[in-house]
Amino acid sequence: MQVGILGGGQLGRMLALAGRPLGLRFRFLEPKTPAPVDDLGTVVRAAYHDPYALDRFAEGLDVVTYEFENVPVASARHLEARVPVHPTSRALEVGQDRVAEKEAFVGAGIPTAPFRGVGSVEALREAARDIGFPLVLKTRRLGYDGKGQAIVQDDGALEAAWRSLGSVDLLAEAFVPFRRELSIVAARGYDGVCAFYPVVENLHRSGILVRTTAPAPEMVPGLQDAAEIYARRLLEHFGYIGVLAVELFEVDGALLANELAPRVHNSGHWTQDGAETSQFENHLRAICGLPLGSTSVIGPTVMLNLLGAIPEPVSVLEIPGTHLHLYDKGPRAGRKVGHVNVRTRGPGDLARSVARVETLLGP
């Protein structure tokens, strides 16, 4: 089968690496060069909104998916008229709009923090009166890795925050005093069968994921079940085919949904070395009409992002239990250039190896 991927970053790269053993071939639409997917298939170098490039890209493909969630929805619709696109443009559209995302959670019966979409300073003031402080502001669109976010502590700071975020449509939501951030990666196949990876614990720094611990330690009874129920509702709400990630807050032993990602997700990278089937393979199995693979855990795994710079591969690989995943991206402050999965036999070994890798990564 010929699979088309909108986007040519590390997620596209890891999809291709997982898909070639299944006999899949890949074509990417990616405006930039060089790209992490170079030498992993054919790359159509063009803008995402170029209809002629989209037609050239679509020619002969069996299915299209994306690895980049800010692909124009119109482009996904254009392609949908020619070839199956999974997840559908509807899921993509919701994933691009933080307010629509929250509304989808509410529509699917999934608890969230109190929120409001606001399009003016006046609406923002009104939302603050209803929701209270601290108030979290996020741009409705194009935010990722903590960009386009602010926390406001009182009325006096509202207008400055509004302007600092570009005077654009915002999501305003209550600050959640969460115990920790969790996420669940789930998949749904053509046959409607769903599969769930264990809930994982995520540590962010400056809004960027730095560490995932899988499975999440100290899970209170019922939490995994709740996460699976929420993920299943979303998968069924969208008639979704493929992998979807839901970011969650744990608050007083319960879960609040924070964001969804209609694609493979950074908090699922541990599955490459820690689960029976990786999220990348399961996404491809789903969109290609193949049965989903087991989401069972091989052993507790910690994923550490490489941000900005790559430590010497020798120094990483000499640490027991490490698996290195580089993206062929040049170093740049804060940029995700790779990750290290750590899985060992015993939990003490795991903590020791993780600590050694973290030393290499610096502060």
Site of interaction with its own copies (CB under 8 A)? 13, 17, 20-23, 25-26, 39-42, 276, 285, 289-291, 293-294, 296, 298, 310, 313-314, 317-318, 320-321, 323-326, 328, 338, 345
The phi-psi region of residue 34 (left if phi > 0; otherwise alpha if psi is between -120 and 50; otherwise beta) is beta
Q: State the nearest-atom distance from the C-beta of 29 to its own copies, in Å.
A: 16
Task: Quote the CA–CA distance of 167 and 120 in Å, as a whole number.
Answer: 8
Q: State the nearest-atom distance from the C-beta of 288 to its own copies, in Å.
A: 8
Sequence length of the chain is 363
- State which residue, 56 or 204, has the beta carbon closest to its own copies: 56
- State which residue, 211 or 329, has the beta carbon closest to its own copies: 329
- State which residue, 161 or 284, has the beta carbon closest to its own copies: 284
Instruction: Give all strands (DSSP E) within the chain, no chain letters.
Output: 2-6, 25-29, 42-44, 63-66, 115-118, 135-139, 149-152, 170-174, 180-188, 194-196, 200-205, 208-214, 242-251, 254-261, 301-307, 322-326, 336-343
Q: State the nearest-atom distance from the C-beta of 39 to its own copies, in Å.
A: 5
- State which residue, 111 or 299, has the beta carbon closest to its own copies: 299
Among 323, 281, 338, smallest CA distance to 16 is for 281
Q: State the nearest-atom distance from the C-beta of 228 to its own copies, in Å.
A: 20
Burial category of 331 from C-beta neighbours within 10 Å (exposed 0-12, middle 13-18, buried 19 and up):
exposed
Radius of gyration of the chain (CA): 20
Q: State the nearest-atom distance from the C-beta of 88 to its own copies, in Å.
A: 23
Q: State the nearest-atom distance from the C-beta of 38 to its own copies, in Å.
A: 9
- State which residue, 14 or 226, has the beta carbon closest to its own copies: 14
Q: State the nearest-atom distance from the C-beta of 338 to its own copies, in Å.
A: 8
- State which residue, 17 or 229, has the beta carbon closest to its own copies: 17
- State which residue, 117 or 338, has the beta carbon closest to its own copies: 338
**Which residue type occupies 54?**
L
Structure token digits, residue 257: 């949904």
Q: State the nearest-atom distance from the C-beta of 268 to its own copies, in Å.
A: 16
Contact 118, 127 (CB under 8 A): yes
Contact 197, 275 (CB under 8 A): yes
- Give strand pairing partners of 256: 249
- State which residue, 49 or 345, has the beta carbon closest to its own copies: 345
- State which residue, 153 or 296, has the beta carbon closest to its own copies: 296
- State which residue, 74 or 361, has the beta carbon closest to its own copies: 361
Contact 260, 288 (CB under 8 A): no
* Residues whose CB is less than 8 angstroms from the CB of residue 99 and which lie 6 or more positions away in sequence, other chains included: 115, 117, 140, 169, 171
Q: State the nearest-atom distance from the C-beta of 190 to its own copies, in Å.
A: 10
Q: State the nearest-atom distance from the C-beta of 136 to its own copies, in Å.
A: 36
Please, what is the Cα angle at 217 between 212 and 218, to 5 degrees?
145
Task: Quote the CA–CA distance of 292 and 189 in Å, as a whole number.
Answer: 7
Task: Quote the CA–CA distance of 108 and 235 in Å, as a whole number.
Answer: 10
